[in-house]
Structure formats: C-alpha cells, structure tokens
Amino acid sequence: MTAASSELARLLEGPLASRRRHPAWGYVISFLIAAGFALFLRAFVFEPFRIPSGSMIPTLQVGDYIYVNKFVYGLRIPFTSDPPRHFVMWSGPARGDVVVFIEPLHNSEDWIKRVIGLPGDTIRFRDRTVYYRPKGETEWKAVHNRKLDEPCSYMDRNEKLNEDWHPGRPCELYEERIGGRTWHVIYDLAPRNLPLDFPSEWEVPSHCVFVMGDNRDNSEDSRFLMKDGEPAPCVPLENIKGRAEFIWLSPGPDGQRWGRIFSGVK
C-alpha cells in the first residue's frame, strides 16, 4: 500500500511541479485572485451605475456614471431581486440620501431617487414644499426650500426609450435643506397636470422609505407608484442596493463634462 502511494505521488509530482514552475501559471493565479477580489467588491462594496434618464437633474445628469456604496446599509445577498435578500442590515438610509434600489412593483430594474420620507412618516407635498410628520409625533416639519434667482434650463432624454436629446427645457431652480444637508431641485415652468383625485398625502409603511426625484415634474417616484388602483408609495428597505457616492464619468451630448468627474453626490 505504501509503495503504491509513493508511486502515485511520483507520477503526479512531475506534471504539477512543471506547471508550478511555468511562468504563465503564476499569471493565471494572479488573474484569478484579482478577478475574485473585483467580483467581491462589486457584489458587496461598490457597484457602478449609469444614469439613464433625467429624473435626478440637476444632481445627476443623463449619462453620468456613478459608484454606489453597497456596504453602507448592510450586507446584501448578491443576485437576489425577487424578492431581494440581505444577510444583515445594520442601518437605514437617512433623509436626503440618494439611493439606488430595485423598482418595487415588478422587481425588474434599478431606479435612483432621493429619500424624503422614513419608515412610519406621513408625507405631504404642496406648493413645491415637502412636509413630513415622523411616526408618533403630531407636528408637521418642512424640508426648507427657497427659489434661487438663477437662469435654469436643462437637457433631457430617456435612454431606455432611445429618445433624442430634448434641449433647453426652461425650469425654476430651488434649494432644499434638511438638517445640515443641502441639495438642488428643479420644477418645470409649466406645472404638471395631475388628476383631480391625485393624492397629496402619503403614509409610509414601517419597512419602507418614500423617494422623490430632484427633477420634481419629471420623475416617476413614490408619488406615482400605484398597485391595484391604489397609491403604493412604499420602497422596501430590502430593495435598496446602496447610496450614490460620487460621479466618475459624465459623457454628455457635446462630450465629456469634465467638471463633474469625481464630484460627490450631494
């Protein structure tokens, strides 16, 4: 038995030793380690995302490439979407975070919006002002906003629909602030025509957040989500992939927008 084992080891040692000595074998091992590390980072830490539409203008422009921090809220099980799953969640998004999430009605695609309401909130949106009432409180609070006296126009397109660019849409620019966070939003000069029965107040379930786009008149968000004919503003916490951190490329209709590269997402 011992003799047979020794003979087998001798026969195998030659090819394996030769393979280990071959320079290409070291490159293969290095490549596999690097590829595995890159996959690990993409699955659990950072993931690139491209902005396909103008719903987050002016914060994010069509064509921006951003990095999403997937580790900030928890550890998500990769490649789960219907329903999404997490190993663990150690925190939830803060009011004002820009998040990438799996669209909640069909779990079919990724969306990006800004978190306005937290679990248990009641949300009102009237006269271009967002109000919120946290769970258990009786008083309403406002997301402070002010109109900026600056020229405002934007270029828009929806890449998912293969649209051409829509140049020079006139708008009005506002600054919003909550706590120590400040960002900009825009409104079209011509107000959006909404149905008479369109809700102006929403209850946020305990396991969800309420999201809005910064391009307030051109964003499909929690205000417009419907299920079985009823408002369904809920974006479940488990659907959230991560928080948008910074822009790393910004190709526009006239070339690269250099001033946006490596800028943080406010």
Residue 46 is encoded by which pair of tokens? Answer: 């950072």
Selecting among 55, 219, 222, 250, the annotated active-site residue is 55
Pick the closest to residue 95 from 134, 68, 125, 55 (CA basis): 134
Count Cβ neighbours within 10 Å for each residue of 79-104 and write b for 16 or more, e otherwise: eeeeebeeeeeeeebebbbbbbbbeb
- Give CA–CA dist 148/152, Å, rounded: 9
- Give CA–CA dist 211/118, Å, rounded: 9
Residue 130 is encoded by which pair of tokens? Answer: 């967002």
State yes or no: is 30 an active-site residue: no
Selecting among 70, 113, 219, 222, the annotated active-site residue is 113
State yes or no: is 135 an active-site residue: no
Name residue, tokens 């099980």.
Answer: 77
- Give CA–CA dist 165/63, Å, rounded: 11
Pick the closest to residue 183 from 241, 256, 264 (CA basis): 264
Task: Write the CB contacts of 239 (distance below 8 Å, at least 6 apart in sequence).
Answer: 84, 101, 102, 103, 104, 107
Residues noted as catalytic: 55, 113
